[in-house]
Amino acid sequence: MDDKPKFFTDHNEEQNFENDKNIDNSNSNLSLKDHSDTPHKVIHRKDGRLHIYIRQDKYKGDLKSKNWVGRAYIRGKQLVYSSGTPELDDAIPVLEKWYDNKIIEIEKNKENRDKKEEVKLFSSGDEKNEEISQLKIESDNHKQKGFITPMFEKLKNFNFGKKKDESNADKLNQNIGEGKKKKSFSLKNIFKSRVSKLSVSGEEIAGLDITKEAIKVSQVSQDKDEKWILDKFSYRLLDQEKISENVLQNKDYIAEEISLALANAKITSKNIAMSIPVTSAIIKVVTSPLMSDEELQKAIDTDSLWENLVQLTDNLNDYSIFHQVINRSSKTNTMDILFVASKLSDVNEYSNIVKKAGLNPVIIDVRCFTLKNAHDNTEFKSIVEKTSSAILELGPEENYLMIIHNNIPVITDVFLRQPEKEILSSVSEQSNPEAEAVIRRYAMQVKQALADYEAKYENKINNIQVVSSMKNISNVLTAFTKNLPTIGFHLFDPLQGVQIPSYNSEKTSVDNRSTFASVIGLAYRKLDVFGYYKFVTAVKNINLLPNRETVRQKGRLKFLTGFAFKGIAGLVAAIYLILIVTSYFQIKSNNEILNEYDQVQIEYDQLNAQFSKLIKRKREIDKSLELGKLVNSNQVQSYRALAQIARSVPLRVNFTNLKFDGQNNIIITGLAFADQDILNFISNLNSKSLIAQASLTNMQEEAQDQNSNSKNMKRFTINCILKGN
């Protein structure tokens, strides 16, 4: 048995433990020395809750170890722990520490179980967004259009097909499951956000702002330091005689002016981001029970969500709706949803004007959010980023205060009747009681909105950026300062911090640049085909275009096609680069080898000459061996016949080949200088005792060779028949 301490449960000793509990507690007062020699007794510690005793462990009858062991009964279960030592003085501190740690562990587990209902499903953003602001539009103009002004109350007992008797524990388990699911898809979301960001950064879109006073177009880009550059910009002042009360009624004229403005700015992109007025939109943050994305989409598809959360006077199908969840709270089991809607008729009117100009509308935003987009990309934001900031649109058409808190706009409508708007446009340096009354009522509404915000969030607003197209705006701001002396009013400059090329400097050199805020904010917009802004903020993702999903699908296809093409092009380029690098090193290696060519060639010639000599010598040896094989050396008769043939060769004759059939015939092939030499050779052969007959079978002139000495020689073949034994 291992002497290291081990934790285990000993069920076999449960009865012994029960018996040990009856042992007199007086044992705990005995000295350690008294018990060192009495291992059968139990020492009680921790008020009798920890029992220490000697246990002898045997294996197959043999004693393997003898250790002091502690055991305790905790929460109905017997726990046993070995100290790993036979020394009692060393064992007691170890066992007491074990007991204390187990008690602490059990108490912690109990506390964790008590806090299960407070488990947070969303690890980031809950605390920051717990008090998320609600966007409000409160005006009689909206009431006349059927828009909802008060914020919808938090729903109670709202049900989307779930059982009414569903217990809180079931809901908690479901929420925990959703939290785990969210974590499991975190890597997927990170990848999706990265791809989405790439698609957003590569989409080229031009901003278009249509107002009653002018048509403005712009296009921006970023340098390597991610600073904005106003690449293209132009505006066209509209002829007020051709413009009626509703600018949408003059489509042909507006479309023509849009085309001229784009041509003047040299904008070639057909993709356009445009905005609709705040008075044509419903903007709300509504609170609903906590749901998963699938449940939320199901509720939207069945028209049950908006019918319960937003009370629209008209049919739901008459609206173009954008929504996005901006906060989920597990504490209250609710979530906040940004709801933006506009009449389809209004959206289609603006879209048709752009299409009439030969353009492709891909984004339709709300004007207040375009101002925030411009605000987010100016240096002004960096100056006051630790505090909240506010934008006031003041003019003959739109009047509202937008406070930006934690990157979420809180919008309060400023109500003015049409006569009051006209009076506001006539404010001058001279005192006018009627105009002062309008300014005072206007300032009171602004002051009340600021007070409500400051009371709720305990954050003070000291400066307001003003956006206005009024020609007398400087006089109006002076009057506002008199009514709100603690607030600083400044004309909003959306081009602050934006690099302006020289060819656009003259166009933008005006005293009131706030009129460019909306078109600059639209120029910052990008077509979010993969939902990148879903991971950033809902305000940058608003698109009321009815067919926005089709546009996004086309954008996704275009991006993926371009991405695939770039990938293939990159792969081909990489292959070519590898081949070029490989070729470079191969050429370099070949050049080094060529430098040694002359020396190698000399060595080759020398070796080749030696090789030729060896080959020639080899052929001679092979011929000799071949001749030797024809004669059976162990036969005396053959050897003697061969010797007689050799002695018969005249001086002017040599033979080149000799073939013996192994019986009685020998064929001799050779060269002679003259016919007489051949005859002499035959005569000599016939005179030999072992040759029965020698006869000439063939003779011909030898081919002349300029490099040899065999000129005019005769080649002959002689057949010799040997005498039998």
Residue 124 has pLDDT above 50, yes or no: no
Torsion of Cα atoms, 589 then 594 then 597 then 598, to 10°? -140
pTM: 0.53
Confidence at 54, pLDDT banded by 50, 70, 90: confident
Average pLDDT over residues 426-441: 87
What's the confidence (pLDDT) of residue 33? Answer: 38
Residue 529 has pLDDT above 80, yes or no: no
Average pLDDT over residues 30-47: 55
What's the confidence (pLDDT) of residue 141? Answer: 40
Confidence at 378, pLDDT banded by 50, 70, 90: confident
Q: Is 389 exposed, middle or buried (0-12, 13-18, 19+ CB in 10 A)?
A: buried
Instruction: Return the higher-pLDDT residue of 537 and 130.
Output: 537
Average pLDDT over residues 75-99: 82
Average pLDDT over residues 123-141: 40
Residue 444 has pLDDT above 90, yes or no: yes
Confidence at 218, pLDDT banded by 50, 70, 90: very high
β-pairing, 488-491 vs 463-467, is parallel
* Maximum alpha-carbon separation in the chain: 167
Within 10 A of 190 (CB to CB), how many other CB atoms are there?
Answer: 11
Confidence at 627, pLDDT banded by 50, 70, 90: low
Within 10 A of 325 (CB to CB), how many other CB atoms are there?
Answer: 16
Average pLDDT over residues 146-159: 36
Which residues, in sequence order, are CB contacts of 59 under 8 Å at separation 6+?
Answer: 1
Residue 401 has pLDDT above 90, yes or no: yes
Residue 232 has pLDDT above 90, yes or no: yes
Which residues, in sequence order, are CB contacts of 376 under 8 Å at separation 6+?
Answer: 407, 524
What's the confidence (pLDDT) of residue 115? Answer: 55
What's the confidence (pLDDT) of residue 635? Answer: 66
Share of the chain above pLDDT 90, in %: 20
What's the confidence (pLDDT) of residue 501? Answer: 92
Q: Spelled out in words, what is the top-level CATH class assigned to the domain 380-492?
A: alpha beta
Residue 705 has pLDDT above 80, yes or no: no
Confidence at 113, pLDDT banded by 50, 70, 90: low
What's the confidence (pLDDT) of residue 261? Answer: 94
Element containing residue 335 per DSSP (H, E): strand 334-343
Residue 446 has pLDDT above 90, yes or no: yes
Instruction: Return the higher-pLDDT residue of 459 and 550.
Output: 459
What's the confidence (pLDDT) of residue 660? Answer: 82
Average pLDDT over residues 595-607: 85
Q: What is the mean pLDDT of the chain?
A: 75
Residue 75 has pLDDT above 70, yes or no: no
Supply 674's token pair: 């003259």
What's the confidence (pLDDT) of residue 160? Answer: 38
What's the confidence (pLDDT) of residue 164? Answer: 35
Identify the residue whose tokens are 């004229």: 253
The amino acid at 539: V
Instruction: Return the higher-pLDDT residue of 430 and 650.
Output: 650
Same fold: 380-492 with 631-722: no
pLDDT digits (tens, 9 = 90+) for 482-500: 999 999 999 999 998 899 9
Among 197-206, 304-313, 437-446, 636-645, the range scoring the smallest mean pLDDT is 197-206
What's the confidence (pLDDT) of residue 188? Answer: 54
What's the confidence (pLDDT) of residue 725? Answer: 57
Average pLDDT over residues 19-39: 39
| Domain range list for the chain | 7-114, 380-492, 631-722
What's the confidence (pLDDT) of residue 234? Answer: 94
Identify the residue whose tokens are 């605390």: 127
Share of the chain above pLDDT 70, in %: 71
691 in helix, strand or coil?
strand
Residue 709 has pLDDT above 80, yes or no: no
Instruction: Return the higher-pLDDT residue of 455 and 156.
Output: 455
| C-alpha–C-alpha distance, residues 75 and 82, integer Å | 20
Residue 25 has pLDDT above 60, yes or no: no
Residue 192 has pLDDT above 90, yes or no: no
Task: Provide the strand spans (E) within 11-125.
Answer: 43-45, 50-59, 62-74, 77-82
Instruction: Return the higher-pLDDT residue of 239 and 379.
Output: 239
CATH of domain 631-722: 3.30.1360.100
Among 294-303, 358-367, 521-530, 591-600, the range scoring the smallest mean pLDDT is 521-530
Average pLDDT over residues 218-235: 89
